[in-house]
Amino acid sequence: MSKISITELAKKHGTPLFIISRSKLKQCVTRMQTLLPRVNPYYAIKANPHDQILKCFAREMKIGFDVASQGEMDRVLKWGADPQKVIFANTVKTPSALKYAQAHGIERMTFDSESELEKIAQYAPGAKVIVRIKVPNIGSVVELSIKFGAEPSDAIPLMIKAIQLGLEPIGVSFHVGSQCTRVENYLDALEIASIIFRDAKLKQIHLSLLDIGGGFPITHFDHEEDYFARMGPVINRELERLFDPGIEIISEPGRALVGPACILIMSVIGQSIRNEKSWYYLDDGVYGDLSGQIFDHCKYQFKVLKKGETHPSALAGPTCDSLDVLSMSEELPILQMGDLVYVENIGAYSNASGTQFNYIESAKIKVLD
């Protein structure tokens, strides 16, 4: 998006303004399918559940969805998602959500404990279950194996328990952690999963699905390496080596499909000098569309349209909470009231997790083709 477009959009719609590009959404899906041609993407809608994103993915791109609640199931089905291409990927589900899933034809779901199997058997009898295993999350920005995943050695006994409960174990899933830049995490996880597949076959448990989770990294700064471009072919080769062509392979990308498709445009609404540093207060912050700095441990590159000599500066959000500080170490030109600051690659875990603290509304959303 050009600087002229940013200025025109801010002038027309006001700020803060959150831009979603439909063409960029499609490009992200196509890139994923190109880098991992054997893997069917199931969009993790928690990253950004905006209706136009779901509509684009369900009706135009026709990809699958990873959902974690009854509300998320309802959202994707509303936009025409095929229930057979929806995976209920929360390993701790409520009874009401399980009943909803079964009533609406969503059969595939993950688990990582015996108690969860018993719950599924009670409220969604006959479901197709996928054991989620714990795998290395070394170096990932968000560690997920602390809270989720059974020990790999427990996978087969859990599948046997599933059969005893009248469920159908169909596969294995894992997650290497969010913003994973170490391809070794995926390679180790795939090796572990392949061993479970072989052991299951020996015990006459016929598995047909591998879910490699999400975690595929995107860039937030201009100088960053595009790790996914390097990792994708390596992961794909390992999939071909370890898993028979008849095995269905899916992934659960969130950030990789929506992160690069969105821009946040903000305005300076206040300024001061504190400890000999320029402070600029913006009309959005960590309680709004920059909530990813808190909940997603994300760091963003703040850009301005103004040129000139730069100085050490701080950026803060509009709320009365001192937590609402965006950066203490920006090199910026002297800004004035009304000057624009923008952030690219902010589509994931941004407007999805804001709280509207102080009753300060989140950014207006504009969808562009």
Residues that are catalytic: 320
For 240, the 3-state DSSP assignment is helix
Cβ neighbours for 325, distance < 8 A, ≥ 6 positions apart: 286, 314, 315, 316, 317
Rounded distance between C-alpha atoms, residue 278 and residue 334, angstroms: 8
Q: Do 284 and 302 meet the contact criterion of CB atoms below 8 Å apart?
A: no
Residue type at position 253: P
Which pair of structure tokens corresponds to residue 24? 């960029």
Rounded distance between C-alpha atoms, residue 75 and residue 58, angstroms: 11
For 32, the 3-state DSSP assignment is helix
Of residues 122, 227, 118, 202, the one with CA closest to residue 162: 118
State the pairing for strand pair 128-132/168-173: parallel
Residues in the chain: 369
Which pair of structure tokens corresponds to residue 154? 């427990």
Q: Which residues pair with 78 in a beta bridge?
A: none
Distances (CA, A) of 268 to 17, 62, 281, 287: 13, 40, 6, 17
For 191, the 3-state DSSP assignment is helix
Rounded distance between C-alpha atoms, residue 258 and residue 22, angstroms: 10
